[in-house]
Amino acid sequence: MSLSTPARLFRPFSLLTATAILATPLVVAAPAAAASETPHLLITEIAPDNVGYDDFEFIEVHNLGTEAVDLDLDSVGLSYIYADSDDRSSDVPLTVEPGTVIDAGETLVLWLSYTTSTVDSFAKTVDDFRSHFAATQPQTDYDVVRVTGQSGMANGGGRGVRLSVADAEVSRAFVPVG
């Protein structure tokens, strides 16, 4: 059976259209694959003020991704910030214990540890930390890792924490004044 002239002209166009439709997901998928290389971390809580002296201030980070994140290997940085902005000139780098990993779908408590005239969180244990929060957090199997570099958080707000990967901000949490 022979094709009419319009059908013969339409056939190459149909082939080109079908190829474009089938190839589109491949082109669109490429940026998504590149984006998945950045760890999916979110600061979910900052606790700058607790009962008594501030021996148990903490930052909570959740891994929304499907793979574990090694904070060292994945170049994850944490900073105490003085402004809810992209300005990093006053940021204070925080140091997390080497080898810290946040498993996929898990939350990690980063306990701000320091010594001042009234606070010595290094004299406290992880069990002390868990006991301090037992009334509001009866579950005790959460991971706690010490973080250093800042002598306390401002109880009155106006401070926060920035999480970055290879110097690109991934998450920021800020406690407003008041």
Per-residue pLDDT reduced to its tens digit, 21-71 = 334 333 333 344 444 467 799 999 999 877 778 899 999 999 999 999 999
Written as one letter, the residue type at 128 is D
What φ, ψ does residue 33 adopt, rounded to 5°? -65, -40
**Distance between CA 45 and CA 173 in Å, rounded?**
8
* Global pTM value: 0.76
**pLDDT over 50 (residue 126):** yes
94-112 tens-digit pLDDT? 999 999 999 999 999 999 9
What φ, ψ does residue 128 adopt, rounded to 5°? -60, -45
Domains of the chain by residue range: 1-35, 41-175
As assigned by CATH, the class of the 41-175 domain is mainly beta
Residues sharing a CB contact under 8 Å with residue 77, sequence separation 6 or more, in sequence order: 93, 163, 164, 165, 167
pLDDT band at 2 (very low <50, low <70, confident <90, very high): very low
Residue 151 CA neighbour count, 13 Å, CB half:
6
38-50 tens-digit pLDDT? 779 999 999 987 7
**Distance between CA 134 and CA 153 in Å, rounded?**
22
123: how many CB neighbours lie within 10 A of its CB? 10
**Distance between CA 100 and CA 59 in Å, rounded?**
14
The rounded percent of the chain whose pLDDT value lies above 90 is: 60
**pLDDT over 50 (residue 131):** yes
Q: Comparing 26-35, 56-65, 75-84, 127-136, which segment has the lowest mean pLDDT?
A: 26-35
The tokens of 48 are what? Answer: 């700058």
- C-alpha 18 chain-centroid distance: 41
The tokens of 145 are what? Answer: 């890792």
pLDDT band at 17 (very low <50, low <70, confident <90, very high): very low
pLDDT attached to residue 136: 80
**Distance between CA 162 and CA 174 in Å, rounded?**
9
pLDDT attached to residue 56: 93
